[in-house]
């Protein structure tokens, strides 16, 4: 006989089951879950600086310890929107356990992140760093530093460019000059007829560089002069029209361009929707046919064992000028206990950075732009041939203070120039010039100048490069160079691709720093829990 197939068996399913006692969330969360790591780490840090942000009186507030835990854990889960965080507090059991079933709305979360956390983010990060040091995860021995660009929360089409602003400013100043000359011409005609004294508003009195305050004073003088000319409406009609144009058109435009100059503060551009963000070329846009600079921030971060040990946010695109302020921030975070060795790529090999490392007794493992050529690691013959024509590779005779080019022509000292960086560092550069390059067969390879070759040399920088080359080519230096590519670059890749953090969600330099601080803490705790 053919057997009947067995009937399927299902596990009990009672949707409206009643518990005698309410279940504990703690029993439902795994013992080694990341949420427990976040809870333990945040509990261990000092949050007195955060508590100080709250004033007494008024209604009760959600506890900042709870909000900090929720924010950090949300960032570990790639949840960056305040609305999504508020939703997770209502639906996700891990968020419910972490918050003690508190349900702050998205406004409270956003206000806490953007206002309460803004002044203390570095201190909170420093507390997490101390936790890592105390538990032996970070030793502060080596410090691998690099920079990356992260797009700002700004409209890339609404950008103020410094060069365009300067051109517009020149145009409005030219228009002001023409109008003042028109007023002056009308006054000269009136003087010829009535014999009165001349007005002082001539176009050649510096109006081509006039600012808004000076223009206001000139307009007051002109208006007062016109008020004194009673009964001469026909004669003052043209001058009054010019004054109205100055007041309604030229003055507002001039004030706008002055405000833009103040916001630029030496930068080449800024976004109208986030004035702190500058336009930068993004690494991910390299190779694109129509890649255009985007409003972004330059993030400087240093790692050890792929833990983020220090970070800083800048709105200047170049990395070299960011290292000193970055290391100063690291000094604050580590309570003066700086890493012993600083390792970075060739972008940071400036005299200012070398001098800072020497001043603070830090190991100099910074590459410079011609390191591979100097160590003969660069095998392209055309590059090595061009390398010999670089000024720092010319032979130098200290007795006569003379350089000799590859054609053995002397370059004699001319003068010394002093340069000051944006950070206030001063350096002296000596200029040397050749007296006879016209008939040199190597001139086309040596210089593109029509006249003789001039070189500018900083002997202090040459000495720093010599020290860096010795450190980098040592056995320790070779190991650190090999590790550098797997340290901070890996961390940036993890943040952008694994955590999906490619764009900031807050605006303004201080709020952006807060957000990246949360990202850095989240990264460290994710690595701690992995």
Q: What is the pLDDT of residues 24-71, one digit of tens each?
A: 888 888 999 999 999 999 999 999 999 999 887 788 899 999 999 999
Q: Which residues pair with 301 in a beta bridge?
A: 146, 311
Q: What is the pLDDT of residues 227-263, one digit of tens each?
A: 776 555 555 677 778 888 888 898 999 999 999 999 9
Nearest residue to 476 via CA among 363, 318, 344? 363
What are the C-alpha distances in Å from 216 to residues 185, 247, 255?
20, 8, 11
Nearest residue to 246 via CA among 226, 272, 231? 226
Give the number of residues written for the chain.
530
| Spatial contact of 392 and 460, defined as CB atoms under 8 Å apart | no
Any idea where the domains of the chain sit in the sequence? 25-117, 139-158+278-521, 161-270
| Distance between CA atoms of residues 460 and 476, nearest Å | 24
What are the C-alpha distances in Å from 267 to residues 168, 170, 427, 445?
17, 19, 22, 35
Q: What is the pLDDT of residues 311-343, one digit of tens each?
A: 999 999 889 999 999 999 999 988 888 899 999
Take residue 10 and report the two structure tokens written for it: 């299902």
Phi then psi dihedrals of residue 432, to 5 deg: -120, 150
The three-class DSSP label of residue 294 is: strand
The three-class DSSP label of residue 118 is: coil
Nearest residue to 500 via CA among 474, 481, 479, 526? 526
- For the chain, which ranges sit under pLDDT 70? 1, 186-208, 229-236, 285-291, 377-380, 382-384
What are the C-alpha distances in Å from 111 to residues 71, 108, 508, 511, 514?
12, 5, 14, 11, 12
425, HSE (Cβ side, Cα atoms, 13 Å): 17
List CB contacts of 293: < 8 A, sequence separation 6 or more.
269, 279, 280, 281, 282
pLDDT for the residue numbered 106: 95
User: How do 269-271 and 159-161 pair as beta strands?
Assistant: antiparallel
SS (H, E, C) 296-354: EEEEEEEEECCEEEEEEEECCCCCHHHHHHHHHHHHHHCCCCCCCEEEECHHHCCHHHH
Q: Which residues pair with 418 in a beta bridge?
A: 428
The predicted model scores a pTM of 0.86
Take residue 98 and report the two structure tokens written for it: 């972490």
What are the C-alpha distances in Å from 224 to residues 116, 199, 398, 488?
52, 11, 70, 66
Residue 392 is classified by DSSP as G
**Burial of 81 (C-beta count, 10 Å sphere; 0-12/13-18/19+):** middle
- Residue whose tokens read 């410079």: 368
Specify the DSSP element, H or E, that contains 278. strand 278-280
Specify the DSSP element, H or E, that contains 271. strand 269-271
Angle at which helix 34-44 crosses helix 121-134, to 10 degrees, equals: 110
| Spatial contact of 525 and 38, defined as CB atoms under 8 Å apart | yes
Phi then psi dihedrals of residue 527, to 5 deg: -70, -35
pLDDT for the residue numbered 391: 86
Take residue 523 and report the two structure tokens written for it: 């990264």
- Residue whose tokens read 């001349």: 198
Q: E strands of 346-493, at which residues?
A: 363-366, 395-397, 402-404, 410-420, 426-434, 454-457
270, HSE (Cβ side, Cα atoms, 13 Å): 22
SS (H, E, C) 394-424: CEEECCCCEEECCCCCEEEEEEEEEEECCCC
| Distance between CA atoms of residues 302 and 123, nearest Å | 17
């Amino acid at each position: 006989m053919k057997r009947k197939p067995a009937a399927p068996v299902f596990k009990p399913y009672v949707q409206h089951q009643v518990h005698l006692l309410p279940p504990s969330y703690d029993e439902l969360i795994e013992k080694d879950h990341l949420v427990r790591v976040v809870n333990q780490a945040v509990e261990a840090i000092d949050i007195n600086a955060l508590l100080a942000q709250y004033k007494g009186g008024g209604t009760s507030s959600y506890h900042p310890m709870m909000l900090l835990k929720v924010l950090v854990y949300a960032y570990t889960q790639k949840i960056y929107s305040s609305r999504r965080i508020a939703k997770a507090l209502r639906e996700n059991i891990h968020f419910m356990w972490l918050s003690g079933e508190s349900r702050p709305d998205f406004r409270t979360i956003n206000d806490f992140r953007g206002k309460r956390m803004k002044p203390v983010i570095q201190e909170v990060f420093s507390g997490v760093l101390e936790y890592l040091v105390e538990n032996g995860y970070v030793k502060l021995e080596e410090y691998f530093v690099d920079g990356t660009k992260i797009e700002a929360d700004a409209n890339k089409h609404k950008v103020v460019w410094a060069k365009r602003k300067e051109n517009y400013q020149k145009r409005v100043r030219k228009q002001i000059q023409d109008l003042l000359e028109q007023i002056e011409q009308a006054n000269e005609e009136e003087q010829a007829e009535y014999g009165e004294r001349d007005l002082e508003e001539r176009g050649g009195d510096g109006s081509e560089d006039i600012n808004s305050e000076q223009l206001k004073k000139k307009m007051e003088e002109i208006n007062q002069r016109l008020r004194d000319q009673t009964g001469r409406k026909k004669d003052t009609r043209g001058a009054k029209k010019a004054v109205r144009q100055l007041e309604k058109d030229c003055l507002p435009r001039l004030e706008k361009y002055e405000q833009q100059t103040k916001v630029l503060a030496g930068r080449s551009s800024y976004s109208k929707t986030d004035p702190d963000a500058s336009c930068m070329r993004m690494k991910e846009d390299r190779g694109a046919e129509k890649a255009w600079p985007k409003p972004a921030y330059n993030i400087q971060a240093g790692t050890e064992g792929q833990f983020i040990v220090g970070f800083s946010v800048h709105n200047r695109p170049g990395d070299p000028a960011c290292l000193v302020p970055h290391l100063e921030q690291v000094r604050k975070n580590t309570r003066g206990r700086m890493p012993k060795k600083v390792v970075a790529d060739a972008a940071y090999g400036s005299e200012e950075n070398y001098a800072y490392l020497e001043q603070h007794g830090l190991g100099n493992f910074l590459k410079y732009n011609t390191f591979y050529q100097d160590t003969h690691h660069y095998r392209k013959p055309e590059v090595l041939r061009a390398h010999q024509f670089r000024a720092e590779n010319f032979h130098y005779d200290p007795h006569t203070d003379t350089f000799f080019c590859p054609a053995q022509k002397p370059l004699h000292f001319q003068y010394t120039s002093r340069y000051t960086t944006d950070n206030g560092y001063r350096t002296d550069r000596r200029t040397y010039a050749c007296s006879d390059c016209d008939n040199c067969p190597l001139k086309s390879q040596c210089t593109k100048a029509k006249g003789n070759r001039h070189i500018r040399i900083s002997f202090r920088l040459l000495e720093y490069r010599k020290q860096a080359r010795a450190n980098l080519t040592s056995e320790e230096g070779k190991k650190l160079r090999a590790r550098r590519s797997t340290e901070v670059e890996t961390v940036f890749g993890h943040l952008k691709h694994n955590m999906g953090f490619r764009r900031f969600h807050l605006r303004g330099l201080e709020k952006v720093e807060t957000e990246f601080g949360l990202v850095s803490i989240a990264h460290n705790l994710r690595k701690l829990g992995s």
